[in-house]
Structure 1
Amino acid sequence: MSKLALVTGATSGIGKAFAERFAADGYDLVIVGRRQDRLAEFASNHPHVTVRTVAADLSTEDGINTVAAYCADEPLDMLVNNAGVSHYMPLADLPADKARELVNVKVLAPTQLMRAAVGGMQQRGTGTIINVAGMIAFSGPADTSVMPRRAVYAGTLAHLVAMTQTLSAELEGTGVKAHVVCPGVVATEFHSSQGLDMSAVPRMSPQDLVTGALRGLELGEVVSAPGVEDYQLLSSVFAADLAAFGGQSPELATRYRAN
């Protein structure tokens, strides 16, 4: 019996690369995206596996519910939450509808799809959830000289990192794995869709990004960063997080007391 993977945002870029890798490995697929023509093209180009297409907009309640039903009803071996939107702008400039779309696609949709899939995976004693976040999740402390500010976008990616780490701990001993991959700049349509010309910027290929995520899983990493050579950098971040968490007290810290 073939394994089954569901991939969101599968019509281009990272999502398409995940779907292609799984198809090459013999997985049957449920591929999700907004563009039915691209979904159909992918299916016709991969006749050696069963490909079901789901045209859904994960910024909407109906779209989320449609895909969540697949996650709940199908015996998924792999769920990849990749869908994204690229609303890069400071909070004060971000229109309310775009803020809602971004949070729905990168926070609400992954949460609901994971919630729908994880119970069945636990019952079967196997399954993997991969969330696609980004290195921008770690950019919060950067000052204004480093990059354009994009508070909501960065916040959604940081949410995915923390949620995946916590979910991984919840799933310990169940046979189910949770993993989050943090790309840097990848050669996809993601930036060109905003009218940004990234042709002069060194970029990782989507295929290498997928290779890194899957190898990270094999290595037992909960958070993979395919573009970071020294993984100790991330280990230090996580150790500092835990040190701060463990260093709290019910007593008011001295620096906050009146002189």
Structure 2
Amino acid sequence: MTELALITGASSGIGRAFAERLAADGYDLIVVARRRERLDALAAQLPTNVEVATADLATDEGIDAAAGLCAARPLTMLVNNAGVAHYMPLAQLPAAKARELVSVKVLAPTLLTRAALPGMLERGHGTVLNVAGMIAFGGPAAAMPGSGRAVYTNTLAGAVAMTQTLNTELAGTGVGAHVVCPGIVATEFHEVQGMDLSALPRMAPADVVTAALAGIRLGEVVSAPGVEDYGLLERVFAADIAAFGGQGPALASRYKTA
């Protein structure tokens, strides 16, 4: 059976790297992004069958169009990669940009996954692969000068939690969920915001893809391409479970005396 993957945000960066790698591995593709000319150029150079679909995942119409493809096609992999950052302190973030960020990074992956899962479950085979970032774990970190990313961090942390919970829901079905969390990647992602990060060490998009696919084979629900000691993440997850299990119905004593 031919493997079929749908990739959002496929016109550049990590999404393009996913398309190139999966096509090299024999996948047929559905590539989704806003820029048709880039998708057409990408499709022309890939060795497998590639369907091009333009959709703006910041809009209800774009999400519905992409979700329709997820529901109608026999996907074996869904790569929710499309992204937008809008780094800005929350008090200064225009409502339209906040809405765009949540639509692209939360609503679109949720509805595309919802559309793809019934077919995957019926066939007993498939993977939902979400692209987040290590900022998902950076909530307690001190603010960086000139940056404001409360909403962006929220979307990435939500992607990690949703993926972990979804993978548990899917246990024993032959369908899995996975999220990859890179650090700074050498793409145009920051450049479109006028941020020059060229002086900083950055990971190649192809390495992010390699980590994500290897992480799936290793059984990792959350992969971290730049973290050498995976035990760091395992301890984070163990602490999460311990805190969740450590709750009770009585008010904690520290709140009685504060």
Bin of the TM-score, shorter chain as denominator length: over 0.9
- The reply on whether 1:238 has 2:247 as its aligned counterpart is no
- The reply on whether 1:64 has 2:66 as its aligned counterpart is no
Write the letter of the residue equivalent to 1:16: R
Write the letter of the residue equivalent to 1:256: Y
Aligned partner of 1:136 in structure 2 is: 135
List alignment gaps of at least 5 residues for structure 1. none
Question: 1:49 offset after TM fit, Å?
Answer: 1.1
CA separation in 2, counterparts of 1:143 and 1:82? 27
Render the CA deviation track for 1:96-116: whole Å, top value 9, x for unaligned: 000000000000000000000
Question: 1:147 offset after TM fit, Å?
Answer: 7.6
CA separation in 1, counterparts of 2:231 and 2:256? 36
Write the letter of the residue equivalent to 1:6: L
Question: 1:143 offset after TM fit, Å?
Answer: 2.0
Aligned partner of 2:38 in structure 1 is: 38
CA separation in 2, counterparts of 1:176 and 1:255? 43
Aligned partner of 2:195 in structure 1 is: 196
Write the letter of the residue equivalent to 2:78: L
Q: TM-score, normalised by structure 2?
A: 0.98
Aligned partner of 1:184 in structure 2 is: 183
- The reply on whether 1:19 has 2:10 as its aligned counterpart is no
Question: 1:146 offset after TM fit, Å?
Answer: 7.5
Write the letter of the residue equivalent to 1:149: G
Which stretch shows the higher mean deviation, 63-72 or 140-149? 140-149
Aligned partner of 1:9 in structure 2 is: 9
Write the letter of the residue equivalent to 2:114: R
List alignment gaps of at least 5 residues for structure 2. none
Q: Secondary structure at the match of 2:214?
A: helix
Q: Secondary structure at the match of 2:156?
A: helix
CA separation in 1, counterparts of 2:222 and 2:215? 8
Q: Secondary structure at the match of 1:113?
A: helix
CA separation in 1, counterparts of 2:178 and 2:64? 23
CA separation in 2, counterparts of 1:224 and 1:184? 11
Question: 1:86 offset after TM fit, Å?
Answer: 1.6
CA separation in 2, counterparts of 1:197 and 1:145? 15
Q: TM-score, normalised by structure 1?
A: 0.98
Alignment of 1:1-259 (within 5 A): 1-46=1-46, 48-144=47-143, 148-258=147-257
CA separation in 2, counterparts of 1:195 and 1:148? 12
Which stretch shows the higher mean deviation, 84-93 or 159-168? 84-93
Render the CA deviation track for 1:131-186: whole Å, top value 9, x for unaligned: 00000000011123588331000000000000000000000000001000001000
Write the letter of the residue equivalent to 1:225: A
Change (3 A) 1:210 1:147: farther
Write the letter of the residue equivalent to 2:195: L
Question: 1:8 offset after TM fit, Å?
Answer: 0.2
Render the CA deviation track for 1:115-135: whole Å, top value 9, x for unaligned: 000111011000011000000
Write the letter of the residue equivalent to 2:153: A
CA separation in 2, counterparts of 1:191 and 1:162? 25
CA separation in 2, counterparts of 1:146 and 1:198? 14
Write the letter of the residue equivalent to 2:42: F
Render the CA deviation track for 1:179-228: whole Å, top value 9, x for unaligned: 00001000000011111111110000000110011000000000000000
Identity of counterpart residues, as a percentage?
66
Change (3 A) 1:9 1:234: same
CA separation in 1, counterparts of 2:85 and 2:240? 28
Question: 1:26 offset after TM fit, Å?
Answer: 1.0
CA separation in 2, counterparts of 1:66 and 1:181? 25
